[in-house]
Amino acid sequence: MPEDVEAQLLAIEKADLLIVAAPVYRGSYPGLLKHLFDLIGLNALINTPVLLAATGGSERHALVLDHQLRPLFSFFQALTLPIGVYATEADFTDYQITSELLKARIQLAAERAAPLFAAHVPSLLKIA
């Protein structure tokens, strides 16, 4: 495997927190995302906090977070955060987030993630 790819995989395995964001393809996450995580060590993500996010063409596929992405990270024994972030084209204008509801959701997800993130990085606990 090329060295730069190895380095990227290691960065995922060693991350203090992962934000996993994917477009919805045919009712699920894309096969490429699965392929990426097929290359991650079986025990590498145990207790890693994971914030799940997805974009889709339709609001109706928001459950991709809980029905598709969450089980994948349960397999890894990762700590998927209870709050995920789902967005559609209607939330963006010129590639910028313009939906206040989406902004609030991201804010809430970040607030909920912060304590778990700090627990993984002891130096942050000292600052807090």
Ligand X SMILES: Cc1cc2nc3c(=O)[nH]c(=O)nc-3n(C[C@H](O)[C@H](O)[C@H](O)COP(=O)(O)O)c2cc1C
Least distance in Å: CB of 48 to ligand X? 24
Nearer to ligand X by Cβ, of 25 and 37: the residue is 25
Q: Quote the CA–CA distance of 81 and 51 in Å, as a whole number.
A: 5
Window contacting ligand X (CB under 6 A); options: 20-28, 35-43, 99-107, 112-120:
20-28
Residue 80 phi/psi, 5° resolution?
A: -70, 135
Helix (H) or strand (E) holding 33: helix 31-38
Nearer to ligand X by Cβ, of 29 and 73: the residue is 29
Q: Residue 35, exposed/middle/buried by CB under 10 A (0-12, 13-18, 19+)?
A: exposed
Residue with tokens 């890693």: 48
Indicate which single residue of 15, 36, 53, 55 sits in contact with ligand X (rule: CB under 6 A).
Answer: 55
Nearer to ligand X by Cβ, of 42 and 95: the residue is 95
**Binding interface with ligand X (CB under 6 A):** 23-27, 55-58, 61
